[in-house]
Amino acid sequence: MSKEIPVTASTLSAQYLKEFLVENFQLSPTTTCKLFRTGINHLYMVDTETEKFVFRVYTLNWRTRTEIEEEIRLLLHLKQNHISVSYPIADKHHSFIQEFNAPEGIRFGVLFSFAKGKKIPLFTEHASFNIGLTMAKMHKATTNFQYKRVTYSANTLLIDSFATAKSFFSSPSDEMTFVEKTSKHLASEFDKIDVKQVRFGGVHFDIWFDNMHIDEKDEITIFDFDFCGNGMLCLDIAYFMVQLYNTQPTEADYERKVAAFLKGYESITKISDEEKRIMPMLSVCIWFFYLGVQCDRFENWSNVFLNENHLKRFIGIVKKWISYKQLSVE
Looking up residue 29, the CATH number of its domain turns out to be 3.30.200.20
Residues 107 and 134 in one domain: no
Average pLDDT over residues 293-311: 97
Give a yes or no: residue 6 inside a domain: no
Each residue of 252-286: pLDDT tens digit? 999 999 999 999 999 999 999 999 999 999 999 99
Give a yes or no: residue 22 inside a domain: yes
Q: Is the pLDDT of residue 36 over 70?
A: yes
Give a yes or no: residue 9 inside a domain: no
Q: Is the pLDDT of residue 66 over 90?
A: yes
pLDDT band at 3 (very low <50, low <70, confident <90, very high): confident
Residues 201 and 238 in one domain: yes
Residue 107 identity:
R
Q: Are strands 97-102 and 220-222 parallel, antiparallel or unpaired?
A: unpaired
Residues 210 and 67 in one domain: no
Residues 179 and 88 in one domain: no
Three-state DSSP class for 123? coil
DSSP-derived letter for residue 196 is G
Residues 108 and 226 in one domain: no
Domain count, the chain: 2
Residues 152 and 259 in one domain: yes
Nearest CA to 126 out of 259, 285, 238 is that of 259
Residues 103 and 129 in one domain: no
Cα separation, 90 vs 209, whole angstroms: 27
Give a yes or no: residue 2 inside a domain: no
Residues 270 and 148 in one domain: yes
In the chain, what percentage of residues exceed pLDDT 70?
99
Which structural domain, as residue segments, surrounds residue 37? 14-113
DSSP-derived letter for residue 105 is E
Residues 165 and 309 in one domain: yes
Indicate which CATH number applies to the domain containing 147: 3.90.1200.10
Average pLDDT over residues 14-29: 98
Q: What's the confidence (pLDDT) of residue 2?
A: 61
Q: What's the confidence (pLDDT) of residue 1?
A: 53
Among 113, 135, 152, the domain boundary falls at 113
Residue 115 identity:
A
Among 60, 89, 113, the domain boundary falls at 113
State the angle between helix axes of 251-266 and 234-247 in degrees (0 to 180), rounded to the nearest 10.
Answer: 150
Among 79, 113, 147, the domain boundary falls at 113
Q: Is the pLDDT of residue 191 over 60?
A: yes
Residues 160 and 281 in one domain: yes
Give a yes or no: residue 33 inside a domain: yes
Write down the mean pLDDT value for the chain.
97
Contacts of 292 (CB under 8 A, 6+ apart): 160, 161, 162, 163, 164, 165
Give a yes or no: residue 330 inside a domain: no
Each residue of 79-130: pLDDT tens digit? 999 999 999 999 999 999 999 999 999 999 999 999 999 999 999 999 999 9
Each residue of 146-185: pLDDT tens digit? 999 999 999 999 999 999 999 999 999 999 999 999 999 9
pLDDT higher at 317 or 8: 317
Cα separation, 227 vs 239, whole angstroms: 12
Residues 155 and 284 in one domain: yes
Average pLDDT over residues 45-49: 97
Give a yes or no: residue 197 inside a domain: yes
Cα separation, 198 vs 232, whole angstroms: 7
Residues 252 and 142 in one domain: yes
Please, where are the H alpha helices in 25-117?
65-80
pLDDT band at 329 (very low <50, low <70, confident <90, very high): confident
Give a yes or no: residue 70 inside a domain: yes
